[in-house]
Structure 1
């Protein structure tokens, strides 16, 4: 069975006044009816799904008929690029029915659309058009979900983590654990599964067994693009870094808040984490294994507002910073300059993600403000 997305409380385009001129030119923004807790983009690059605290999912198409790319003009005499203002209202997002008691847990589907899991045990597929397809319904709560983008889902419950085929949800393997998985992640190289528990990390292939590392926490959990490194928040004052080929570990602490984002920059060969007053980053060419000071990168400006979310561009050495006051800026790895993108409005940034092609930045806040910002490559020459 499936259900069509509803519009019981349609989202409204957010007023553009009060924001930066750059944001007004580049962004499509909306005011939703609940706080935003997370965002995920599908592998086809068609939609961004914002998880709302009221259990619904708001879907926005990445394709924009009035994209900033289409509104850009290059002056023949000077070669200077200009972007004309948008002429038509932005489209209305699709709002699904209630999918969870609280915000859904999100993952990109390996087939189509997004996977939305609920603490109450339900799992749905949500298509780019907003069709909601039930996949699994159990009474045991779900604490984490992830996809290998190739047909397998891992689902973490209290005391076990199960591996499923996404199509048909046939259970492939199970792993008993002392407590719930706080975060799950698949390695991009060999699709090993990482299971983060409160006190340790289990890492391996379900058919071959798991290595046990003393690297627990509350998430998030992330692999580098080449699969060499894995990092996770310790849930207290910092994060840990594990090099998989030799088991070398780095522990970085003294953050002002538990990092709610860890991000590997492929182009910058670096790792960054939120929870500090500036973009806290370290070079992976000289990783902080023996000392926290080794490889430290001075990136962006130090301020008085905590960075709540951080996201690395998939192809460039750019880092997006989402602040506790709602401001968003973009900086380069190891450079002090920042490009202000979104003005502070007093509401923390709670969701931040780049599209796979690096053209779009998805932003969500605790006040329910959602935005898709199209960033022409010419901005970063």
Structure 2
């Protein structure tokens, strides 16, 4: 695959960051592991084992204790108003404003990854072992040859993607283990994601590259050119583009058409002097939120050099960011424990 395209760095806009106009920001005192949105509120998982639920207009988020140590993995649960968390205390919990409810445990071993299916099933990993629990409570154990780094359910199917050393395993939750399919590629695969249409699965690798497969025929593709690990992956509405972190810009790979990104160039947007650490595509438009290692956040758009400053750089690395399902709310978290929440409906009021 060709290396990343180069483009001119856009001049920053003269206006103050959006967060100063329509946003709220608070200090939590703990590293922010992940940011999700559920039922009109931001749910932020922290390194102190708590989940902070924050609604627009409320001065401070509500804190729910979920784990006795850091939260290591997070997924949005199919049950409204809850997220699924995994901690270094060996617990897997469903967490909402009513509290934290353990759903599984590993005997004290770290929970490395969690995933939740739209149909209600969940999965989690600890070391080389993966446990899948169907919505009816039936459990299935899946053993791998190396430590599992990432999990993802197919958006409309019953497949579970398992990222590990040597590739990605696709496990059919309703078939025998012998039906598992290995998508092999040498190296350590540390995150995995299905395209929204379920045609592609893409993994982030420890070798500063992405690797993807077209599921129908196993055709694979290598997406390279990153100076650091592209850990953050986000699909545009409909899956036409995959936005990624790992460079001094957000990198957008095209997935339209039968060939996907094979033989095509990536599109870079929102260049900066710092590495991109988090990306999130707006759910109903072509905008992309981009967070950087220096703490800055901007909104950018494919095909447009302009960016909208959201948060000014302060040296506090952005660890995660995202929109709610309607694209009305936006939130971010930092390595130093700051949370930001913006109600985008407030723009122009």
TM-score by length of 1: 0.79
Distance in 1, Cα, partners of 2:347 & 2:340 = 21
Structure 2 counterpart of 1:71: none
**Which secondary structure does the structure 2 equivalent of 1:194 belong to?**
strand
Larger Rg: 1
Equivalent residue, structure 2, for 1:52: 46
Q: Secondary structure at the match of 2:327?
A: coil
Q: Distance in 1 between matches of 2:91 and 2:234?
A: 29
1:111-169 CA-to-partner distances (Å, cap 9, x unmatched) read 24112222332122212x241222223314321111003221111122221111357xx
| 1:96 alignment partner in structure 2 | 64
Match of 1:141 in 2: 110
CA–CA separation in structure 2 for the residues paired with 1:22 and 1:39: 19
SS in 1 for 2:19: helix
Give the drift of 1:352: 1.0
1:183 alignment partner, one of 135, 146, 150: 150
The structure with higher relative contact order (CA 8 Å, sep 6+) is 2
Residue of structure 2 aligned with 1:251, choices 199, 204, 222: 222
Closer, same or farther in 2 for the Cα pair 1:21/1:144, shift >3 Å?
Answer: closer
Give 1:378 deviation, angstroms.
Answer: 7.2
Residue aligning to 1:342: 311
Which has the larger strand fraction?
Answer: 2
Give structure 2 stretches of 5+ with no counterpart. 1-14
Q: Aligned in 2, Cα 1:164/1:359: closer, same or farther, shift over 3 Å?
A: same
Aligned to 2:28: 32
For residues 367 and 166 of structure 1, do their structure 2 counterparts lie closer, same or farther at Cα, with a shift above 3 Å needed? farther
SS at match of 1:142: coil
- Displacement of 1:255 in angstroms is 0.8
Tell me the distance in 2 between the aligned counterparts of 1:290 and 1:265: 18
Match of 1:117 in 2: 86
**2:10 corresponds to which residue?**
none
**Aligned counterpart, 1:304:** 273
Q: Structure 1: any 5+ residue segments left out of the alignment?
A: 1-18, 67-89
* Deviation at residue 232 of structure 1 after TM alignment: 1.6
Secondary structure at the aligned position of 2:180 is classed as strand
Once residues 282 and 125 of structure 1 are traced to their aligned partners in structure 2, the CA distance between those partners, rounded to angstroms, is 33
- Is 1:320 the counterpart of 2:289 in the alignment? yes
Q: Which residue of 2 aligns with 1:226?
A: 197
Q: Would the aligned equivalents of 2:167 and 2:189 in 1 still touch at CA under 8 Å?
A: no
Whether 1:155 aligns to 2:124 is yes
Are 1:206 and 2:177 an aligned pair? no
1:54-93 Cα shifts (integer Å, max 9, x gaps): 22221112xx3x5xxxxxxxxxxxxxxxxxxxxxxx4221
Aligned length: 327
- Correspondence 1:105 to 2:73: yes
**Alpha-carbon shift at residue 350 of structure 1 (Å):** 0.2
Find the residue that maps to 1:199 and give its secondary structure. Answer: strand
1:352 counterpart residue number: 321
Is the CA contact 1:39–1:364 (under 8 Å) kept in the aligned structure 2? Answer: yes
TM-superposed CA distance for 1:328, in Å, is 0.5
Contact 2:49 2:71 in 1 (8 A): yes
| 8 Å CA contact retained: 1:232, 1:262 | no
